[in-house]
Amino acid sequence: MKNRPLLIGLLVFGVLGLVFFLWVYRTTILTESPVLTDDRIALIRIEGVILDSKDTIDELKRYRENPGIKAILLRIDSPGGAVVPSQEIYEEVKKAREGGKKKVVSSMGTLAASGGYYIASATDKIVANPGTLTGSIGVIMELANVEGLMKKVGVESIVIKSGAHKDLVSPFRKMREEERQILQNVLDDVHEQFIEAVSEGRGIPIEKVRSLADGRIFTGRQAKGIGLVDELGDLQDAIRITASLVGIKGEPKVVETKKRFSFFDLFRDQFGAKWGYFPLAPGGVQLKYLLTFG
């Protein structure tokens, strides 16, 4: 039979694919819904650009209600991201801590800036490496203007609107001064929300936070010196510190949800911060707690 090698190859490939799928599924299910009888620390990773809060909030809720989890450790390696997801995660961390229900600690990796720091400021304790880049307390909106390009290619934008400012952030014409001021007022308010959140979460006087909230970044060691970070150390130090907060003796057991690999997430994390979420795309105009790179 001429097609037998091909059929055998397809069958083997299909079986291997099924085995891999079942392994991934089993791993995810077992780690997402653990039935724990001893004291453990839950590790939640917040990595890359923060564009959505759902997965992190789901993890926080699940571990918050699990009696076998005594504390939650956030491993943050992020330049920040969109304003609302950062705020939603911040609020969920506060809920996890309410009434002394769970201790929550932040461990900062290479980068925990802007929205990443916003989230960390809600935790009981922040641990950073000496060389961690953090801070960047500020808000940014990046808009593109393609008016010159449109003229070069001979394309005219026609806008029909119901209000004077309905096309406030149109990329097809130059922004007017009064429109710039409207956007600046919005940014100033969202910036103040950031300052208030850090002041509340860290217990730092609001005027001190305001003096640091000009978008500058700090190393972990600098941040510790000005009160934005509590301890210096790596992830293992953070695990030890978290265990001591809740009285876990000896080597603590750490549980972590296994996440399925996603090429989209990889692409987004690698290029989302640099390209600013594609500002010409529908819905691409965003307020961001984000450390941007040139």
Catalytic residues: 114, 166
**Tokens, residue 11:** 């069958």
- Element containing residue 19 per DSSP (H, E): helix 4-32
C-beta atoms surrounding 8 within 10 Å: 10
Contact present, 114 and 290 (Cβ < 8 Å): yes
Task: Give me the residues paired with residue 45 across strands.
Answer: 75
DSSP letter, residue 50: B
Q: Could you give the dihedral angle defined by the CA atoms of residues 21, 25, 27 and 28, in that order, rounded to the nearest 10 degrees?
A: 140
Contact present, 135 and 216 (Cβ < 8 Å): yes
Report the distance separating Cα 31 and Cα 6, nearest Å. Answer: 38
Task: Give me the residues paired with residue 128 across strands.
Answer: 108, 232
Report the distance separating Cα 211 and Cα 208, nearest Å. Answer: 5
DSSP letter, residue 218: E
**Torsional class of 172: left (φ above 0), alpha (ψ -120 to 50), beta (otherwise):** alpha
Q: Which amino acid is at 104?
A: V
Length of the chain: 294
Instruction: Report which of 97, 72, 116, 62 is spatially closest to residue 241, judged by C-alpha positions.
Output: 72
